[in-house]
Amino acid sequence: MTINPALTWETTVGLYLDGVYIGKTQGSVFDVVEVERIEVLRGPQGTLYGRNTLAGGINIVSKAPSGELGGYAKAGVGNYGAKTLAASLSLPAIGNVRVNLAARSETRDGWVDVNAGSIATSSVDALGDIDRTAFRAAVDVDLSDRLTLAYRFDFSEADQAATHSQLHRLDADFMLPILGFVSTEREDSASVDGPSFEKSEVSGHSLTFDLDLSETLSFKSITAFRDLTWSDGLDLDGTPLDVAHTQRYSDYESFSQELQILGGSGNLNFVAGAYLFNDDGFTDNPQRFFGVFGPFGSIFVSRYGFETQAVALFAQIDYDLSEALTLTAGLRYTDEQKEIERELGNAGQPRTISAGTQADTSFDDLTPTLSLSYDLSDSVSAYLRYAEGFKSGGFNGEAQTLAETLRPYSSESVRSIEAGVKGLWFDNRLRASAAVFRNEHSDMQLSVFTAEGAAGSSVRNAGEAVIQGIEVEGMLNVTEDIRVRASYGYLDSEYDKFLDCGGAADVANNRAFPHAPESSLSLSLEAALFRGSWGQLDVIIDHSHISDYYLYPYPIVADTNPACAASALAPATEVGDYGLTDLRLLLSDVRFGENTSFSASLWVQNLGDEEYRANMIDFGPAFASLTPAYYGLPRTYGVDLVVRW
């Protein structure tokens, strides 16, 4: 759904690291070292996971220390000067203490060269590079036979150039000086002016206690603190002329505490708990526009700070009604307080929104879950699930007017019903699942980029919408050496109600549904080319295809209602359908001695060198419909070598 990088904007899919909520888009940009598995939970997860899980949750689970001496070292090289180094070391247990340390470093030159002979000075030689490092420490301690402590620390740092904002569209004669830079094909060189950078430091600490109270009852406590420092600078017009520049300097931190009681007896299993979440942040967002036109240029001061305090109580039970039929029921209550502070104005002039302007509000919500699962056989089961979820309301940190600053937008809620079947067939050679779902959204939150004064977004509760569809996925072991995976998703998304034009008109039939491709497909082939005493050679081919979709909830055709102001049109920023193919040739399990192995892989991503636009920003008619586009990576390839012991 709609994505807004502002720290005041809440996500639709909840991201968790070892059970710790990571609540912001910017704060989720970090490297995780030593991942054991990634759990993907589809559909509303409001009962156990809480706020901001309308579309699901993703829980990244890192590896626990083994208590035995072992580890790996990895080195990789690729085109565009790519270099990757990674290492992990598990130490022998010292008494009841187990430790794992891991680190990773990745660098790559930019794939868009900045012309040295440009008419303006740039801060970089190339755009789209990578320069990241990450570190992770894990310590597990058995404090007693019943009490275990798990500490996790992660740190990730990036210092690289920004992505190229390639000028894709422009509709105005007065912008004639930059019309020659418009291009609708992916560029590998550019002339830009001003600073272009992206820097971040992300760190997190979590402490988990697991206590067995009895054979059937346990207690868990998860305490976490996360910190983010972020800064970036963008040449939004992507040309050597001083037209549009923006920078962000953000600080953000969050604290969470979760307590759980888990148990079961006979046909009943349950979990109940309490959750506390606090966060606060501040962003300084200076902007400069139309400097190329001298006295008509503007420099904007844009700052916002915010704070959230949320508490929740939750419980869920699983009850076996029979050997084949299980009932799941749960309920969560959430209450939260939000505050905003905003400043906006043209530098050197009285502020449009005075420094110190503040507002606060509160929200609460009940999110139930009810499901039935039935074992049709020992290997096939069916289920029916009803769930509700909500996405937190709040204030728009990028508001352009005092009224927009003080007016909170409401929480978005969803009611979802899903039915499906999953199981194993043909002597367990085929694992497959299928599901149909219908999600009914109320007070849907839509973030619309605007260029009225400073570059910012307006946030509205559009009204009501229905998203329904089908998902099918499966894995087939064709032979002992060949495995095929496939998944397909179909979406039917439409508004039932969309109030726009100052709330004067219901335009549900003339508004695009953003980030909702009608179909998506993924295919994967894994084949063993050779198996021998000295190792195994496999080929892995992955292909994904996505149909066209809109980026913004703009009109599909121009509004005729006189109450509707001129607006950008959705087709102007439509992303066309595209497919990507990745290839990997893997040599693995080459043994050196009893406990040491070697593996090597040759990989290619975007094998067909597909040119596709990952995102676009339409500044709208007030800004000559200036539209920068952000392209996905061209073909990349490389070699990775790994030694394990």
**Close Cβ partners of 623 (under 8 Å, ≥ 6 residues apart):** 244, 451
Enumerate helices (H) and strands (E) in the chain, giving the number of each: 2, 38
pTM: 0.90
- Kindly tell me the burial class for residue 426, based on how many C-beta atoms sit within 10 Å of its own C-beta (0-12, 13-18, 19 or more): exposed
Do residues 460 and 497 make contact, with C-beta atoms less than 8 angstroms apart? Answer: no
Q: Over 571-587, what HEC string results? A: HHHEECCEEEEEEEEEE
Distance CA 448, CA 552 (A): 7
Which residue stretches of 206-323 are H helix? none
What is the DSSP annotation of 113-165? EEPTT-SS-BS-SEES-EEEEEEEEEEEEE-SSSEEEEEEEEEEEEEEPPPP-
Residue ranges for the chain with pLDDT beneath 70: 1-4, 26-30, 116-122, 172-175, 295-296, 449-453, 455, 502-503, 565-566
C-alpha dist (Å) from residue 157 to 35, 63, 84, 105, 133: 18, 21, 15, 10, 5
Q: How far apart are CA 569 and CA 552, in angstroms?
A: 9
Q: Is 621 helix (H, G, I), strand (E, B) or coil?
A: helix
Query: Do residues 69 and 143 touch, judged by C-beta distance below 8 A?
Result: no
Amino acid in the structure at residue 277: F
> Token pair for residue 396?
């728009």
For residue 361, report the phi and psi dihedrals to the nearest 5 degrees: -160, 175
**Are residues 156 and 133 in contact, defined by beta-carbon separation less than 8 angstroms?**
yes
Torsion of CA 186, 188, 191, 193, to 10 degrees: 90
What pLDDT, on a 0 to 100 scale, did the predictor assign at position 540? Answer: 98
Query: DSSP assignment of 517-537, as one string?
Result: -SEEEEEEEEEEEEEETTEEE
**DSSP H stretches of helix in 193-303:** none
Structure tokens at 22: 């990571």
Question: What pLDDT is attached to residue 243?
Answer: 87
Q: 572 phi and psi, to 5 degrees?
A: -65, -25
Token match 């998860």: residue? 222
Scored b (16 or more CB within 10 A) or e, 211-246 reads eeeeeeebbbebbbebbbebbbbbbbbbbbbbbbbb
Residue partners of 131: CB distance under 8 A and separation at least 6 = 106, 107, 108, 158, 159, 160
The pLDDT, as a whole number, for residue 121 is 59
Beta bridge partners of 313: 274, 333
- Annotate 239-266 with DSSP letters as a single string: SSSSSEEEEEEEEEEEEEEEEEEEEEET
**Residue partners of 214: CB distance under 8 A and separation at least 6:** none
Closest CA to 420 of 353, 499, 473, 475: 473
Q: In whole angstroms, give the CA distance from residue 414 to residue 252.
A: 28
Residues in a beta bridge with 35: 62
Question: How far is it, in rounded angstroms, from Cα 503 to Cα 247?
Answer: 32
d(CA 198, CA 84): 19
Measured CA angle at 6 (ends 247, 333), to 5 deg: 160
pLDDT at 621: 77
CA separation (Å) from 37 to 33, 141, 400, 525, 609?
12, 22, 42, 21, 30
294 class by beta-carbon count within 10 Å (0-12 exposed, 13-18 middle, 19+ buried): exposed
Hey, what are 235's tokens? 């040449």
Is residue 463 within 8 A of residue 511, CB to CB? The reply is no
Q: Which two tokens stand for residue 309?
A: 């305090």
CA–CA dist 356, 344 (Å, integer): 10
Looking at residue 53, its pLDDT comes to 87
CB 364 within 8 A of CB 415: no
DSSP-derived letter for residue 394 is B
Phi, psi (rounded to 5 degrees) for 573: -125, 35
d(C-alpha 209, C-alpha 221), whole Å: 5
Total Cβ atoms within 10 A of residue 157: 18
Question: Whose structure tokens read 């969470």?
Answer: 256
| Three-state SS at 590 | strand
Structure tokens at 379: 């290997």
Give SS3 for 623. Answer: helix
Look-up of token digits 């087709």: 571
CA distance 499 to 496: 10
Q: Is 161 exposed, middle or buried (0-12, 13-18, 19+ CB in 10 A)?
A: buried
